Structure 1
Amino acid sequence: MTQNADALDDDQLLRYSRHILLDEIGIEGQQTLAASTALIIGAGGLGAPASLYLAAAGVGRLVIVDHDTVELSNLQRQIVHDAGRLGEAKALSAQRTLHAINPLIEVVPVVARADDALLAQWVPQASVVLDCSDNFPTRHAINRACVAACVPLVSGAAVRFDGQLTSFDLRTPGNPCYHCLFPDEGDASDGPCATFGVFAPLTGLIGCGQAAEALKLLLGVGESLAGRLQLLDGKTLRWKEMRYKRDPACPVCGDHA
């Protein structure tokens, strides 16, 4: 059984009733979600909670890209997997969990690295992209693909006790891209969790924030995070905000890109 994006049946009306009760969403908004595609790059600490909430919320098609397999050390924070799936491809493990939560949606597992060719194939098919990766080269590749296809991008990061959350939406002229905020020149590197460690609930907080921002962008609800970088201190649970602007000289989205 799959959900109908044109007319919600009784089961869908009951399943999504708490969304439908919200004036900002209603039946039309839920139908918009059912007709949308979310591309999630990474089924790890951030992709796990983000995908769970997007599936539960009724986003009609989730494409999960991850080349890695489930390891025991992942289970501390990657809540879309369980101990019975050690050695299984993360994209396939996530598909099983998400279908169990919501069998009405389509979940497409892509067991591959998110390189330029793969991103050029999948990003133009997406309504929104969630960057749940853990390294700068992949993030810059995702950004280039999203700028080229003019698809909104929700970016999250969680390392040690520090979290970051923002979005990039070039559908609005003058908005910045990821490269405007984090240029790829120099020695900056966030590094993988295996090197620095990560506080388990922090990935849930940031991943859920990514899901919330993605749903807002799909629905056109509220104020997006474009131009606003949210910084979370996991030790104090205090949020700070840093504003940033488009770089006219940006080699990705600038005037002469």
Structure 2
Amino acid sequence: MSQEWKSSKLTPQVEKWEEDLPEKYDLQQPTAPRLIRANEINDIWMEIPRYENITWHGMWIISILSILSLFTYCSLFQFSEFYSEATLDSKIFILVAIFSFLSICMFILKMALFVPRGTPVRFNRKRQKVYVYEHQRSIWPWMRWPTVIKVFDWTDIHGEITRQSGRYDQGFRLSGAVCKRGTYDVSDRFILSWTVGNKQLLRGLWNHCCLYMQYKLVPETPLLTRKPLSWTPLNTVRWPEDLDKESKTAPE
């Protein structure tokens, strides 16, 4: 008997797709609503933080020690007999290697000290809008890593679950797929919850968001109440003033 392969109704299908979640206006979703984490929930807006599965502890200390070690080594190596007698090609190779190592150290330091922790998603049910706080970083640490606020209409968003199989990121992830109005053609995607081990948690979170945006009664106490530490004030989430006000208020 041939095996029937499942596929997403959304186009293009997300990489590592696992399942499409029920339509957001379906009041008979099989999983009870449940928040995993929450910063705020009231009659106008709800904010869900998104904490990445990254071990931050000690990263900035390692990066600082590495940079100091590199500078110490370079200051001694610059005047050594070997360097002065090296060929031009050897000197270029040494400088490239030093720059590469410094770039890696700078990337780790920037990740540890400057990347905001728990970048949030805000749901405003009075406006029927979703505000996604995105910190756009690059593998190139010398570039500016900007913060962008994406604003979507709730009616255009569909839920989907993907399966992650990385060494340090195994489990399931919940994403919001933003489609062109009235279609399943995806124009953008955003992560609503980073990887967890149980798909039921993500189904419950999706149902909670759906019911909240329909003014239905939902539980307000999240499953997890402890917030991971931020190492410096530079890790703080800072909303632009105009969008911060808009995302927390009802239209006039």
What is the TM-score when the length of structure 1 is the normalising length?
A: 0.23
Structure with greater Cα Rg: 2
TM-score, L = length of structure 2: 0.23
Give the number of the structure with larger relative contact order, counting CA–CA contacts within 8 Å between residues 6 or more apart: 2
More strand by share: 2
Whichever structure has more helix as a proportion of its residues is 1
